[in-house]
Chains A and B, each alone.
Chain A
Amino acid sequence: MTTFAEFEHPGPSATDGEIAAINLESARRGAWARFAQDPRLPGVAEAIVDNERLASQFFGDLEALDRLNALALQFARADGSSRSLLVQAEVTSTAHRFDDARGYLARAAQMGAPGEAIERQALAIDQACGAELDAVFAARHRFAMASGRLEDLVPLGALLADLERFSEADAVYRQALFSYDDVSPFPLAWVCFQLGMLWGELVPVPDPNLAALWYRRAIAYLPSYVKARVHLAEIYASQGGTGEAEALLLPALSSGDPEVNWRLADVLIAQGRLEEAERQLNAARFGFDQLLERHLLAFADHAAEFYAGSGNDCRRALELARTNVANRPTRRAVKQAQAIALITDDAATTSDLHQA
């Protein structure tokens, strides 16, 4: 594997992750308080969307989606302008309800919402659904070249990874990382996590050590980064480091993310602590069921992976994977469904998915 000079470099400095987490929560609650005073206050609903997304993305705060739904509902009642439609599009897109999101965007466009805001959201939806990828690539490339900013470079990197142009994706992510000119640890942790995913899961021959390095960096920026802890714990566990994996997962349990319970159960099973593992598995199953009941499309892929593995319910996994493919037929989604179909011996589905 390539050795990058950047590994010797500590990476851009950022505000301490604990301080940033406290300030995010502070800003999030402050924005909600202002929204309650008057939902139409300029920029407040949009700020809540940003804050709740960060809470969900980094801290595994699964109630963020419920709060976002409430926000969209209340804002739509209070504000009849295209602003509320753009917020509803953001919220439904976050919950992977892409058809709804497209509908809101279309209505926002009719009401004269700014074209750039609509284009950026539509782009994100197309990318998440694996649709019109040539056009998405052209637009992503244009945005990234024009701004050179991390928030434009990372989606371009993710798209390159989706297109299996892994070396280019790596280069773009690293460009994003080392050109960041602010001090928030969230974007930096995000890029490191993406690089971890790239080298740990997406490339044809994963490099777990390289992936672990990036996940560790993500956690160094943001110690409460739940998903980074989960992925790093998986690598440690696969290399026999179950103690290290457990130490990573235990602090993340309080997030309520069932994926933490699931991975911890796997670690406990590897350690022969079967009763404890069973408790964690039950918690994971309960957690996924709750999430699927409220936000099926948002969690279908993760839940499918769980039920295909330790969740031990291949039929349910296949059903969820199909739901996910129907909602967003990306290469990854199709591959996941094919893999699950193979282990459930569902020849018809495998064949259908091959043709998809």
Chain B
Amino acid sequence: MSDHVDGPRQIGDAAADLSDLFAFTSPENPAHTVLAACVFPSAGEDAIFSNIIDYSIAVRRVTVASVGNSAKFQPADDESRFSFRFETLKRDAAGNAIQHGVCKLPDGRELSLTVNDEKGSWTPEGDVRVFAGLRSDPFYLAWDAAELKRLPNLLQHTNVLCMVVEFDTRRVLDPTKGSLFGAAAETVPPQQRSLIAPAVPRIDWIGRPEQTNIRLYNPALVGIDDLRDLWNQQTPFAISKELQPLFLQRLKESLADWDMRDGKADWTPEALAASANVFLDDFLLFDVAKPINDDSHLEIEKSTINGLPYQTGGGRTVDANSIDILLTWLVNRDREFLQGGATGATKPGMKVFPYFATPNTELQTVADSVELAASPEEVWTLIGQFGGAWHPLTARVNLTGAGIGQLRTIQTLDGQQIVERLEAMDDAKRFLRYTNIAGLAVSHYTGTLEVKPKGSGCVVDWRAQFLATDKTDRAVKVRVSTLFKTGLESLKSRFGVTK
């Protein structure tokens, strides 16, 4: 979602919504470069690509035109373009939907692929490999940006559709002519479209993460026009000359606001203007002759604005903490690292092709609630004891340890054992969170129990999320659901229900 829903214009087809762009050295082969783009933020397990969109990643050679407060990067006119097209669905013998596609390479060759085939497809020459399919979303956002308040990862367990292309750097990019490049991705609709309106050149594009949703659009700047739609209609590497002053002014205002989010001015007006001028050209900079690692994202831009030669290959790896890196630069110019509320995505990237982690399985959810004719405090006194044995299906509960991290071993009436760990407890808010350690055929089980006031009584919310170990086995969901229902029903007879 680093570029998700990046404008007020409704993106009708989520498969056209570009969320991210990456450029890094292949972990499997240092002589290879990997470019990747993601679409469809928060995709579910069955998400697939549109059959009429042209998804492409374009690369241009870039030179450093000047440094310091006049920093600028100059892209060449020639570009290398990798374009993905996908077909309508076909069915295999078992009736499963299969999607095929093709990636058109910069030299005109076409490489066929099957969506979600982890092995990907190689060219016969072995110089290019491609993958397209559903993966765990590597982006994580763990801030309330308006208040710079840390939050848990807001994108926990989400997926995206990824397109990955890995190629022999020397053969495709010829770094002997210059090793610094800029990349941008775009989603392009068919061009025969409108009878009565101008053709739309693209639906979405992305260079560096957060150009639109953090730099150009800043809700703190009240009463201003939202320029994101206008920006998305710009041509990558060639922002309209007429509109450049408008975008530049917005970038300056926005960056000035970000600088003051911590109450300290870390940017001189000149340096801030230089930063805005660099970000006005939005492409993901990477140097194939230098090391690209998880911390090198934006280093090329930052060093150049600081008047220094850059040391790394910049780019953006799968595990790059792009938001914290960006916010730190904007807010305090790298004086103090701003760590959000998460240190990584739901799943880290892989060291083997296609480098993006396997998709998150859809979490099973069980939620139930009951409204009671008793005060929240009264109810919480009973059910807010982590070691309490109030549940009618519980024979006894043994506690191990104390405070956060303590374990409870529940012996159920039918003789089974469930072991749970206390993860969070807030008596003031009458809320507790726990995880399952053993006793249920699930993984990643998180349960929450909460009592809130409602009218003259209260409402008890009990919910759990988990991954079923066998997707077809819903028995565990029934079991959890029965546990919840039985427990909440018992509270009705004890406290009475709201009339």
Contact = CB atoms under 8 A, between A and B. Distances in A.
A271 interface: no
A182 B12 contact: yes
A16 B89 CA distance: 9
B190 A13 contact: yes
A175 interface: yes
Interface in B360-385: 362-363, 365, 367, 369
How big is chain A's contact interface, by range? 35 or more
B196 to A, nearest CB: 5
B493 interface: no
Nearest to B42: A30
Interface string A182-195: 11101100000000
Interface stretch (B49-57, B246-254, B395-403): B49-57
Nearest to A74: B367
B88 A181 contact: no
Contact of B197 (A23, A29, A43, A181): A181
Interface string A212-241: 000000000000000000000000000000
Given A18-B88, A36-B465, A30 B194 contact: no
B47 interface: yes
Contacts of A18: 88-89
A36 B445 CA distance: 13
Interface in B197-245: 197, 200, 203
A15 B15 contact: yes
Given A12-B194, A34-B158, A181-B193, 9 more contacts: A13-B189, A16-B51, A23-B40, A33-B157, A37-B465, A77-B369, A77-B452, A181-B200, A184-B13
B156 A181 contact: no
Interface in A28-61: 28-34, 36-37, 41-43, 47
A66 interface: no
A183 B195 contact: no
Interface of B: 5, 9-16, 40, 42-53, 88-89, 97, 99, 154, 156-159, 189-190, 192-197, 200, 203, 362-363, 365, 367, 369, 452, 454, 459, 461, 463, 465
B292 to A, nearest CB: 31
Contact of B50 (A12, A37, A183, A187): A183
A290 B190 CA distance: 44
B363 A182 contact: no
B46 A186 contact: no
A33 B365 CA distance: 7
Contacts of B452: 77
The 5 closest A-B CB pairs, nearest first, are A184-B12, A26-B44, A36-B365, A30-B44, A182-B12
B192 A13 contact: yes
A193 to B, nearest CB: 16
Interface of A: 6, 9, 12-16, 18-20, 22-23, 25-34, 36-37, 41-43, 47, 74, 77-78, 148-149, 151, 175, 178-184, 186-187
Contacts of B362: 29-30, 33
Contacts of B44: 25-30, 33
Specify the main secondary structure of chain B where it touches its partner.
loop
A13 B42 CA distance: 25
A122 to B, nearest CB: 20
Given A12-B194, A77-B459, A27 B47 contact: yes
Given A77-B369, A179-B196, A23 B465 contact: no
A113 B363 CA distance: 32
Contacts of A28: 44
A77 B195 CA distance: 48
A20 to B, nearest CB: 7
Contacts of A36: 363, 365, 367, 463, 465
B189 A183 contact: yes
A183 B365 contact: no
A7 B12 CA distance: 24
Nearest to A27: B14
Contacts of A187: 12
Given A15-B52, A182-B11, A23 B47 contact: yes
